[in-house]
Amino acid sequence: MAAWDFLNDYEGLGGYEEFRTQLVLMYLVMLNGSAQDLMILEMKPLEIQRFRLRTPALHAIQWLREILNREGKPFGTPAILQGANRLRFEWERS
């Protein structure tokens, strides 16, 4: 099993602003217990500011959604905005 940092120490590094490294996603996963199939994938966008997490502005969440939609297009996995601050992947189940 792999582990990654939830908080990073990239805050304040110059020259990487276009990547918006202050934006992170918390993943909420629901699996079908018997088949271990991914049933639901929701993501909670967060913004790191001074090593504290907060809900980002709507325009930042929409930017994340656009990136996820662009990258997921070949796989048919659009990111849908759920409420004010969650993203959800939806896909065709066979």
Asked if the structure places residue 30 within a domain, the reply is yes
49 located within any domain: yes
User: Does any domain span residue 8?
Assistant: no
Residue 43 inside a domain? The answer is yes
Structure tokens at 11: 């805050």
Q: What is the pTM of this model?
A: 0.75
Beta bridge pairs of residue 32: 37
What local confidence, expressed as pLDDT, does residue 1 receive? 45
Q: What is the pLDDT of residue 67?
A: 92
Q: Specify if 14 maps to a domain.
A: no
77-80 long-range Cβ contacts below 8 angstroms, 24+ apart: 79/43
Checking DSSP bridges between strand 23-32 and strand 37-49, what pairing results, if any? antiparallel
Q: What is the per-residue pLDDT for 31? A: 80
- Domain hosting 34: range is 20-89
Q: Is residue 41 part of a domain?
A: yes
Query: How many domains does the structure of the chain reveal?
Result: 1
Does residue 82 form part of some domain?
A: yes
**pLDDT at residue 12, as a whole number:** 65
d(CA 91, CA 62): 19
One digit per residue, the tens of pLDDT, for the chain of length 94 reads: 444 555 555 666 677 677 777 888 888 888 877 767 787 889 999 988 887 889 999 999 999 999 999 998 998 888 999 988 899 987 666 6
Is residue 25 included in any domain, yes or no?
Answer: yes
